[in-house]
C-alpha cells in the first residue's frame, strides 16, 4: 500500500515536473517564437527599409545619370562656347593689334596734320597781312575809280553838250557814217587783196545816232570804179532824192534796216557774178533820201610769185 502510494506520489511528482518542464519549455518556445517573430518583423521592416533605400538610390542614380548626361551635354556646349570664346578672343586680339597699328598710323597722321596746321596758320597769317594790304590797295583803287568815273561823267557830259552843239551847227545831211570796213574774201572765207581770188566783198559801217535816222528804211550799196561807173553789173538803178539834187546810182545790194537801235552797224555781203578786175573802187551807201557815206579800197593784180 505504501508502495503504491509512493509510486503514485512519484508519478505525480514526475507528472508535475513534466508539466512544469512542458510549461517552461512552452513558455521558452513561446518567448523564443515571439522573439523570432519580432525579429522577423524587424528583418522585414529592415528589408522594406533597405528596399525603399535601394529604390531611392536607384532613383537617385537615375537622376544622377540624367544629371551626368545633362552635365556632359552642358560640358560639350561649354567646351564649344569656350572654343568660340577663344576664337572670338583671338579675333579680338587680332583686331586690337590692328587697331593699335592703326592708332599708331593715326597718331602719326595727327602729328603731320598738326604740323600742316601750324604751317597753314603761318600761311594764313601771311595771307591775312597781304589781304589787308590788298584791301587797302583796293580801297585806294576804288577811290581812284570813283574819281575817274566822276571825271569820265564830266567829260561825257561835255561831249554830249558838244555833240548837241555840233548837231545844231552842222546840217544832218552833211553827217555820214563812219567805221567803214571792207574785206575781200576767197571761197574758203579767208581774206585776200587779190582781185582774181575775190569771191565776195563784205562792207560795213557805223550809223551814228546824230544822223537821227528812224524807222524801217531800205539801204542801198553802190559799187563804182575810179571813173564813177558801175564796177560790176548792178541789180538796178535807183534815184536818190538828196537835199540839193537827185542822184541816180547803180544798186548792187539792198537790205531793210530798222534804225530804232542807235548807234548801229550796217553790213552788206556782195557776191558778184562777174570777176572783179584789179583797181580802185568806191563803196557808197544810201537811203531813199540820204547819203550815208563811202569808202575807197583797192584790189591788186595777182603776180606769179604771190
Q: What is the pLDDT of residue 163?
A: 58
Tell me the percentage of the chain whose pLDDT exceeds 90.
17
Q: Name the band, by pLDDT with cuts 50, 70 and 90, for residue 5.
A: low
- Cβ-based neighbours of 204, under 8 Å, separated by 6 or more: 179, 180, 181, 265, 266, 267, 268
Q: What is the pLDDT of residue 252?
A: 92
**Which uninterrupted H or E stretch holds 207?**
strand 200-207
Highest mean pLDDT among 30-34, 83-87, 209-213: 83-87
Smallest Cα–Cα separation from 202: which of 155, 290, 266, 146?
266
Q: How far apart are CA 267 and CA 179, in angstroms?
A: 11
Q: How far apart are CA 175 and CA 220, in angstroms?
A: 17
Q: Name the band, by pLDDT with cuts 50, 70 and 90, for residue 306.
A: very low
pLDDT for residue 305 is more than 70: no
Q: What is the pLDDT of residue 304?
A: 46
Query: Span 218-224, mean pLDDT?
Result: 94
Q: Name the band, by pLDDT with cuts 50, 70 and 90, for residue 220.
A: very high
Smallest Cα–Cα separation from 292: which of 279, 257, 269?
257
Q: Name the band, by pLDDT with cuts 50, 70 and 90, for residue 167.
A: very low
Query: Span 5-31, mean pLDDT?
Result: 79
Amino acid at each position: 500500500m505504501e508502495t503504491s502510494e509512493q509510486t503514485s506520489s512519484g508519478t505525480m511528482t514526475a507528472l508535475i515536473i513534466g508539466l512544469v518542464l512542458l510549461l517552461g519549455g512552452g513558455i521558452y518556445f513561446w518567448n523564443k517564437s515571439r522573439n523570432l517573430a519580432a525579429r522577423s518583423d524587424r528583418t522585414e521592416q529592415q528589408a522594406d527599409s533597405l528596399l525603399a533605400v535601394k529604390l531611392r538610390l536607384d532613383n537617385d542614380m537615375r537622376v544622377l545619370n540624367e544629371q551626368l548626361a545633362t552635365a556632359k551635354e552642358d560640358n560639350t556646349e561649354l567646351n564649344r562656347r569656350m572654343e568660340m570664346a577663344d576664337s572670338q578672343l583671338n579675333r579680338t586680339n587680332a583686331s586690337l593689334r590692328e587697331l593699335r597699328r592703326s592708332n599708331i598710323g593715326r597718331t602719326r597722321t595727327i602729328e603731320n596734320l598738326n604740323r600742316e596746321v601750324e604751317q597753314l596758320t603761318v600761311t594764313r597769317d601771311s595771307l591775312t597781312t597781304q589781304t589787308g594790304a590788298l584791301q587797302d590797295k583796293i580801297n585806294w583803287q576804288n577811290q581812284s575809280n570813283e574819281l575817274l568815273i566822276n571825271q569820265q561823267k564830266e567829260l561825257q557830259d561835255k561831249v554830249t553838250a558838244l555833240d548837241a552843239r555840233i548837231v545844231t551847227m552842222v546840217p544832218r545831211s552833211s553827217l555820214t557814217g563812219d567805221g567803214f570796213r571792207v574785206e575781200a574774201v576767197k571761197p574758203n572765207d579767208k581774206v585776200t587783196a587779190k582781185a582774181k581770188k575775190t569771191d565776195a566783198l563784205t562792207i560795213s559801217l557805223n550809223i551814228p545816232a546824230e544822223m537821227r535816222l528812224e524807222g524801217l528804211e531800205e539801204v542801198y550799196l553802190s559799187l563804182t570804179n575810179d571813173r564813177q561807173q558801175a564796177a560790176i553789173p548792178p541789180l538796178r538803178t535807183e534815184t536818190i532824192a538828196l537835199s540839193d539834187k537827185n542822184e541816180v546810182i547803180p544798186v548792187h545790194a539792198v537790205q531793210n534796216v530798222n534804225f530804232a537801235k542807235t548807234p548801229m552797224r550796217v553790213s552788206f555781203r556782195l557776191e558778184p557774178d562777174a570777176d572783179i578786175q584789179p583797181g580802185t573802187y568806191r563803196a557808197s551807201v544810201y537811203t531813199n533820201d540820204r547819203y550815208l557815206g563811202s569808202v575807197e579800197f583797192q584790189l591788186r593784180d595777182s603776180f606769179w610769185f604771190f
